[in-house]
Amino acid sequence: MYPDKLVIRGAKEHNLKDIDITIPRHKLVVITGVSGSGKSSLAFDTIYAEGQRRYVESLSAYARQFIAQMEKPKVDYIGGLSPAIAIEQKAVSKNPRSTVGTVTEVLDYLRVLYARLGTAHCPQCGQVVQQQSAQQIADQLAAL
């Protein structure tokens, strides 16, 4: 219904006072404000909570029994919402090389996805890399 925006109407979670907001999708969006202004209530307790709740709701009844279901946030309407992940500001890892992918563990799944569905290309010439049997590799090495 809303392919290019996230629409929230009547958000009342914690210290949010019945706010309406439209957030563009596919953009970098920053939520700022003074302490107690509702930044975390909007980001974590409304948007993230509803995204997770909808995702869990889409799973089978069998799968849902193993997952703690989040409460529905106090909001009149949310449209254009995709499944969401949330990364809190606190340090999860002492490793300076940690990324969003490693902290959320999504990197492992992306590696499998790309290995199974991706097409490898030579970094030098750009040609598609074809799978070869052990015999083909041995023949090419012997020809050198």
Rounded to an integer, the average pLDDT of 64-69 is 81
What percent of the chain is predicted at pLDDT more than 70? Answer: 97
Q: What is the pLDDT of residue 87?
A: 75
Rounded to an integer, the average pLDDT of 61-79 is 88
Q: What is the pLDDT of residue 121?
A: 92
Arithmetic mean of pLDDT over the chain:
88
Residues 79, 31 share a domain: yes
Residues 129, 68 share a domain: no
Number of domains in the chain: 2
Residues 69, 2 share a domain: yes
Residues 122, 73 share a domain: no
Q: Which residues contact 54 (CB under 8 A, 6 or more apart)?
A: 81, 83
E strands within the chain?
5-11, 19-24, 77-79
pLDDT category at 92 given cuts 50, 70, 90 is low
pLDDT category at 93 given cuts 50, 70, 90 is low
Q: What is the pLDDT of residue 142?
A: 96
Report field, pTM of the whole predicted structure over 0.75: no
CB atoms within 10 A of CB 26: 8
3-class state of residue 19 by DSSP: strand
pLDDT category at 107 given cuts 50, 70, 90 is confident
Residues 2, 49 share a domain: yes
Residues 109, 58 share a domain: no
Q: Count of alpha carbons within 13 Å of 73, Cβ hemisphere only?
A: 29
Q: What is the pLDDT of residue 71?
A: 86
Residue 34 sits in a domain whose CATH number is 3.40.50.300
Structural domain boundaries enclosing 75? 1-88
Residues 75, 11 share a domain: yes
